[in-house]
């Protein structure tokens, strides 16, 4: 008889939808997603405490913490480890690397939050969360998701870059081109009608054609 492989059905969160609400035990006490309403939140998972790649990532997140705060962005980690393990690991990072971990870390022992966000990739590991990053805006909408494999540490510059790009998009109603960095020209969203296309070419933007216009950001 054909073998039936049953996988727990998980509905992955999707961009543009409300991020799933949760309440969780963290290294800074019980926290809910809704506690962060009005601020951006980066919710990220790591495979396990006391592992080397994750340690470099925690140091990386601590190093961009001040830059995130300037942008009204909170940070919260998660793994399927106990709060005692988290406490012991962050104390070890401080002792061995001289870096204090300023953000809370969820102890998701029953995998409740991990399942809600689809952080477990059974093909990679059935017992650990993958390296997921969820960017949630001040209205609680999921704006970006990044997934890295177990063996690849995340790029903190890219995470900051996406925050900068999303905040620029929201504030100025523009889009950002490949490899955009703050200060670079931005993309004027393409016109939706023939008339708007004609107008677009008269508006003083730097256009290659009616659909491809850039402009400098003021301020």
Name the site residues for ligand BEZ (rule: CB under 6 A). 47-48, 51-54, 150-151
d(C-alpha 159, C-alpha 64), whole Å: 10
Whole-number minimum distance, CB 7 to ligand BEZ, in Å? 21
Whole-number minimum distance, CB 70 to ligand BEZ, in Å? 28
Whole-number minimum distance, CB 90 to ligand BEZ, in Å? 15
Q: Give the full edge-to-edge strand order of the sheet including 206-209.
A: 186-188, 212-215, 206-209
How many CA atoms within 13 Å lie on the side-chain side of 121?
A: 12
Residue closer to ligand BEZ by CB (options 56, 203) is 56
Whole-number minimum distance, CB 26 to ligand BEZ, in Å? 20
Nearest-CA neighbor of 17 among 108, 106, 145? 145
d(C-alpha 80, C-alpha 46), whole Å: 9
Q: Is 54 a catalytic residue?
A: yes
Q: Which of 54, 132, 207, 213 is flagged as catalytic?
A: 54
Whole-number minimum distance, CB 194 to ligand BEZ, in Å? 54
Cβ(184)–Cβ(164) under 8 Å?
no
What are the residue numbers of the active site? 54
């Amino acid at each position: 008889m054909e073998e039936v492989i049953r996988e727990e059905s998980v509905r992955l969160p999707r961009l543009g939808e409300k991020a799933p609400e949760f309440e969780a035990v963290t290294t800074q006490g019980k926290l809910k997603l809704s506690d962060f309403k009005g601020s951006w939140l980066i919710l990220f998972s790591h495979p396990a405490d006391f592992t080397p790649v994750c340690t470099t990532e925690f140091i990386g997140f601590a190093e961009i913490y001040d830059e995130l705060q300037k942008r009204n962005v909170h940070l919260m980690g998660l793994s399927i480890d106990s709060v005692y393990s988290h406490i012991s690991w962050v104390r070890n990072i401080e002792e061995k690397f001289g870096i204090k971990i300023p953000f809370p870390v969820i102890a998701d022992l029953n995998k409740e939050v991990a399942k809600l966000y689809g952080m477990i990739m059974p093909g990679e590991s059935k017992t650990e969360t993958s390296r997921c990053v969820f960017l949630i805006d001040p209205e609680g909408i999921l704006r970006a998701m990044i997934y890295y494999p177990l063996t690849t540490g995340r790029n903190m510059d890219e995470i900051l870059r996406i925050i900068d790009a999303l905040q620029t998009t929201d504030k100025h109603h523009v889009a950002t081109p490949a490899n955009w960095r703050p200060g670079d020209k931005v993309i004027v969203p393409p016109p939706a009608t023939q008339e708007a296309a004609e107008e677009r070419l008269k508006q003083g933007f730097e256009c290659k054609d009616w659909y491809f216009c850039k402009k400098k950001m003021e301020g």
